[in-house]
Chain A
Amino acid sequence: MAAPSIPNLLSLRGSRGGGRGRGSRRGGPPGGSAASGPGHDTTIQGTDTDASVSRLSAVDMGYLDDPYAQYFVQNQMGPATRRLPIINRALDRLIDAFLSSELGPEAGRKQIVSLGAGTDTRCFRLFSRNNVTGLIYHEVDFPTISSKKRQIVQSTPALRNTIAPDPRKLSATLPRARLGAAPAYRMTASTGLQSDIPTLLVSECCLCYLQTSLGKDVIKHFTEQMQDLSIIIYEPVKPEDPFGKQMVANLAARRIHMPTLEMYREPADQETRLTEAGFQTSKAMTVEAIWKQWVSPEEKERVDELEGLDEVEEWNLLADHYVVAWGWRGNGFQAWDDI
C-alpha cells in the first residue's frame, strides 16, 4: 500500500486551536448568543481543516472524484487521515436534482447559498460542468476562512478559471459574515443575493454550532426574503444511545458543542424543524439509510473493493448518527418530488 495512504492515528488531532481560551470553560453557552465565545469560533474553524483533510483523503483513496480538493490542504498537515465522507453523495444527489429542475419561473436561473462553506469545493465542481449556467453561488463563513479561501482561489489558476469567465458565478465569498453574530448574517440584495429566483440553502455541519434560536433566525432571514426556497441540512443526531453519548462526550473534549443535537434529537425532529421554519415539504434520512437506499449496488461494490474495509460496523454506527434533512416551498424544486 502506498505510503501516503498510511494513516497516523495520532494525526487525528483534536482541537488544533486549543490553548486559546483555555480558561474559559463552557459552563453552558451564554444565553441567546453564539454557542460560546471566540474560543469556540476557533474550534469550529478548526473543524474545517478537519474536513478539508478528510476530503483529500477520500479523493486519494478513490472514494471521491474532486480535482480541487488538493488546493485547500496545507502540506504541514501531515499524512492525510483516512475517512469515509460518503455523505457527499447524498447532498450531491439533492443538489443535482435542484439544478436539473428546469421548470422554475426563470428557467435556468438558480442560486445556492452555502452556509459555513469553509474550504468546500462544491462550487468549483459545479462550475466545471458544462451545463451549469445561470447559477449564482454564495459562500458564507468566518472572515478569516473566507479571505484565506479567496486568496487561494485567486492564486490558483485551476480554481480561478473555473469561476473566472463569468464573475457573477461566484458572487462573493462574503467576508463580513462572522458565524454566530446574527446581525452580520444579513445577506441582502446589496451583497448579491437574489430574492426572486429558486434558492437553495445548504448547511453542512454549520447551523448545528449555533444556538438553536440563532439558527432559526438565520433560516428566517431567508424565508422572509424569498418565496422559492429550499434547504439542505446535514448534521449529527441521536445523542442518547451509547454511540451518541460517546459522540457528545468526545466532541465536548474537543470543546465542540452542538445545540441542535439536544434540540433535534431524531431525524423526525429535523423534519418538524423545517416544517416549522415554513417549508411546505420536509424530509429527513440518516446517512446510513441513504447509503442503503440511494447508492447503487454497483457503486457500493466499487467502494467496498477500494480497500479491505474493516470498519463496517463502525461506519454503520457513524452513518446512523448523521441526518440529511431537506425541505422546500414554491417553484423550482419539482425534481425533489421524485426523491
Chain B
Amino acid sequence: MSDLDKAIAQLRACRPIPEAQVRELCHKARELLIEEGNVVTVAAPVTICGDIHGQFHDLMELFRVGGDPPDTNYLFMGDFVDRGFYSLESFLLLLCLKVRYPDRMTLIRGNHESRQITTVYGFYDECVRKYGSANVWRYCCDVFDYLALGAIVLGASNTLSPPNEHISSEDYADADIEIEVCNADGDIMSRFQRRDNEQRSPNGAGASAGSKTGPPGSGASGSSGGSTGNPTGAVLCVHGGLSPLIDTVDKIRLLDRKQEVPHEGAMCDLLWSDPDEIDGWGLSPRGAGFLFGADIVKVFNHRNDLSLIARAHQLVMEGFKEMFDASIVTVWSAPNYCYRCGNVAAVLELSEGGGGESILARSNGDVGRSDGGMRGVMMESDSAPKNGPARRYRVFQAAPQDSRGMPAKKPVADYFL
C-alpha cells in the first residue's frame, strides 16, 4: 500500500494526516494542477457535484450514492471548505483522490477556495485548531490558486444508462428519458421524457412518472456501460456563473488564474455570480459577482455551442434546480447545509454518448420558448433545447447522525433566541 493509499484510508476515516504529509500532498497536487488549463476538458460519463463545505460525513454519503472513486468519474465544482466542521479532511481527501486518480477526479475552484473567505468562514480556524499553526492552511491555499476555473464536459449522451443493476440498458434506450430523479438507493423517483408535449410532468419531486416507462424490472442485464445515445452539446461547469467580461469560453482560458480570487473582474465573477429572474445583468446581493438573466445564458450557450451550464454556489432546497429552459442548472451537494437548512443534496450524472456516428448535434440554436404551462418544482422552464444531455439527479440526505463517528461534537446552529 503506497503512502498515498494510506493517506486516503486515513482520511476516509476522517482522521487528519500529518503536516509533513499535507505539505507533500499539496506540492504534488500543485504540480498536477499547474498542467491543467483554466478550463479542463472532461469526457462523459461524469458525476457532477456542487458545494461540499466541509461536511465530511455527507461527502462519504455522496460517494456511497454516486459510486466510489475511481469507479465513478467525478467533477467537483468547488466550495470544498468552510462552514462545516471537517473542511480539512474533506479537502485533503479530495486532493488525495485527485493525485491518485488524476483522470477520474476533477476539482475546480469555488469562491471559498480563497485566503480571505476561509479566514472568515472557518477553514483557517479549523487548520489552526487541528495543527496548532496556520501552515496547513497556507499549503492548502497555495493549492487553491492552481485549481481550474471551469470544466467542459464532452460526449454526454442524450439518453441515460440505467440507474441500478436491476434495470437493463435496453429498457432505457427506448424510454427516451431526459431527466430522471433517483433517491439515495438508486430507486427512480420521477422521470421526464424528452420534450414531448404534455410530458414534462409538472408535479416534480417524488411524484409520478415511474409507471410511464419501462418499470424497474427483472432484467439484470448487468452490462452497465455502453448506452446507445448520441452525444450532445458540451456542458460548461463553473462554480458561480457568467461574467459580463466573458463572452466565450476561450476568454476564460486566457485569464491568469494562479492567484488569490480577486475582488472583482472576470475570475471573481465566474466564482461568485448567480443566475436570476432578471433581464441582462444585475447587482449581486453577495457584494461580489453579478446576477445574470436567461437572455445572458442563452446567448452565451449559443455562442459557445453549449447545451447546458452546470454550476453550484447557491443553496437549493431540492438539491438541484434547472432554470431558463434547462439551459442552466444549480447542483448543491451539501445536505442539511450548516446543520441547519433542512435541504436535501444532489449530484448530476451525465451518461456517455454512444459512438458518435450520428448528429453531433450541437443544436442549441433556436431558443424557442414554445408553449408554456408546465413547470415542476425544479423545472422552471417551459421547454428545453432538444439535444440537451440526459440528466440523472441522485438526491440524498444528510448522513445519519450516528455515522458521524467522531466524538459527538454536536453541530450547533445559530438562531435568534
- A242, closest chain B residue (CB): B342
In the complex, the answer to whether B409 meets A310 with C-beta atoms within 8 Å is: no
CA distance A309 to B116 in the complex (A): 12
In the complex, the answer to whether B122 meets A85 with C-beta atoms within 8 Å is: no
Q: Is A281 positioned at the interface, with any CB of B under 8 Å from its CB? A: no
- B411, closest chain A residue (CB): A250
Binds A, one of B18-26, B183-191, B208-216, B283-291: B283-291
Further contacts, 14 of them, CB under 8 A, given A8-B129, A10-B85, A242-B342:
A6-B124, A85-B416, A205-B416, A241-B342, A243-B340, A246-B342, A250-B340, A250-B415, A251-B415, A253-B412, A300-B285, A301-B283, A312-B286, A314-B337
B256 CB, nearest partner CB in chain A, Å: 21
In the complex, the answer to whether A308 meets B336 with C-beta atoms within 8 Å is: no
User: In chain B between 384 and 417, which residues have their CB closer than 8 angstroms to a CB of chain A?
Assistant: 409-410, 412-417
Q: Is B179 positioned at the interface, with any CB of A under 8 Å from its CB? A: no
Q: Is A313 positioned at the interface, with any CB of B under 8 Å from its CB? A: yes
Among A1, A8, A14, A243, which residue has its beta carbon within 8 angstroms of that of B412? A14
Q: Is B17 positioned at the interface, with any CB of A under 8 Å from its CB? A: no
In the complex, the answer to whether A6 meets B125 with C-beta atoms within 8 Å is: yes
Q: Is A81 positioned at the interface, with any CB of B under 8 Å from its CB? A: yes
Using known A-B contacts A250-B413, A313-B314, determine if residue A244 contacts B342 with beta carbons closer than 8 Å: yes
Closest 7 CB pairs of A and B: A242-B342, A246-B342, A47-B417, A313-B315, A14-B412, A243-B342, A304-B287
Q: Is A317 positioned at the interface, with any CB of B under 8 Å from its CB? A: yes
Q: Is B300 positioned at the interface, with any CB of A under 8 Å from its CB? A: no
0/1 per residue, B328-345, Cβ < 8 Å to A? 000000001111111110
A160 CB, nearest partner CB in chain B, Å: 28
CA distance A243 to B117 in the complex (A): 25
Among A5, A87, A246, A322, which residue has its beta carbon within 8 angstroms of that of B340? A246
B314 CB, nearest partner CB in chain A, Å: 6
In the complex, the answer to whether A12 meets B342 with C-beta atoms within 8 Å is: no
Q: Is A93 positioned at the interface, with any CB of B under 8 Å from its CB? A: no
Using known A-B contacts A253-B410, A309-B285, determine if residue A1 contacts B342 with beta carbons closer than 8 Å: no
In the complex, the answer to whether B342 meets A308 with C-beta atoms within 8 Å is: no
Give the interface size bracket for B toward A: 35 or more
Q: Is B169 positioned at the interface, with any CB of A under 8 Å from its CB? A: no
In the complex, the answer to whether A307 meets B287 with C-beta atoms within 8 Å is: yes
Give the interface size bracket for A toward B: 35 or more
A60 CB, nearest partner CB in chain B, Å: 13
| Interface secondary structure of A, over-half rule | helix
In the complex, the answer to whether B341 meets A243 with C-beta atoms within 8 Å is: yes
Residues of B within 8 A of A205 (CB): 416-417
Residues of A within 8 A of B412 (CB): 12-14, 250, 253-254
Q: Is A236 positioned at the interface, with any CB of B under 8 Å from its CB? A: yes
Residues of A within 8 A of B281 (CB): none
Using known A-B contacts A241-B342, A305-B287, determine if residue A310 contacts B121 with beta carbons closer than 8 Å: yes
In the complex, the answer to whether B341 meets A317 with C-beta atoms within 8 Å is: yes
B83 CB, nearest partner CB in chain A, Å: 8
Q: Is B159 positioned at the interface, with any CB of A under 8 Å from its CB? A: no
Q: Is B349 positioned at the interface, with any CB of A under 8 Å from its CB? A: no
Residues of chain B touching chain A, judged by Cβ–Cβ distance below 8 Å, are 83, 85, 111-112, 116-117, 119-122, 124-126, 129, 263, 272, 283, 285-288, 314-317, 336-344, 409-410, 412-417
Q: Is A51 positioned at the interface, with any CB of B under 8 Å from its CB? A: yes
Supply 11 A–B pairs (Cβ within 8 Å), ascending by A. Answer: A1-B119, A8-B125, A81-B414, A241-B342, A242-B317, A242-B342, A256-B417, A305-B287, A310-B286, A317-B341, A318-B416
Residues of B within 8 A of A306 (CB): 287
B202 CB, nearest partner CB in chain A, Å: 20
In the complex, the answer to whether B111 meets A310 with C-beta atoms within 8 Å is: yes
Residues of chain A touching chain B, judged by Cβ–Cβ distance below 8 Å, are 1, 5-10, 12-14, 47, 50-51, 54, 81-83, 85, 87, 205, 234, 236, 241-247, 250-251, 253-254, 256, 300-301, 304-310, 312-314, 317-318, 322
CA distance A256 to B119 in the complex (A): 31
Residues of B within 8 A of A85 (CB): 416
In the complex, the answer to whether B126 meets A9 with C-beta atoms within 8 Å is: yes
In the complex, the answer to whether B117 meets A310 with C-beta atoms within 8 Å is: yes
Among B263, B283, B415, which residue has its beta carbon within 8 angstroms of that of A318? B415
A318 CB, nearest partner CB in chain B, Å: 7
In the complex, the answer to whether B124 meets A308 with C-beta atoms within 8 Å is: no
CA distance A262 to B150 in the complex (A): 46
Residues of B within 8 A of A251 (CB): 415
CA distance A54 to B263 in the complex (A): 27
- B121, closest chain A residue (CB): A310
- A6, closest chain B residue (CB): B119
CA distance A205 to B283 in the complex (A): 34
In the complex, the answer to whether A50 meets B337 with C-beta atoms within 8 Å is: no
Residues of B within 8 A of A9 (CB): 83, 85, 122, 125-126
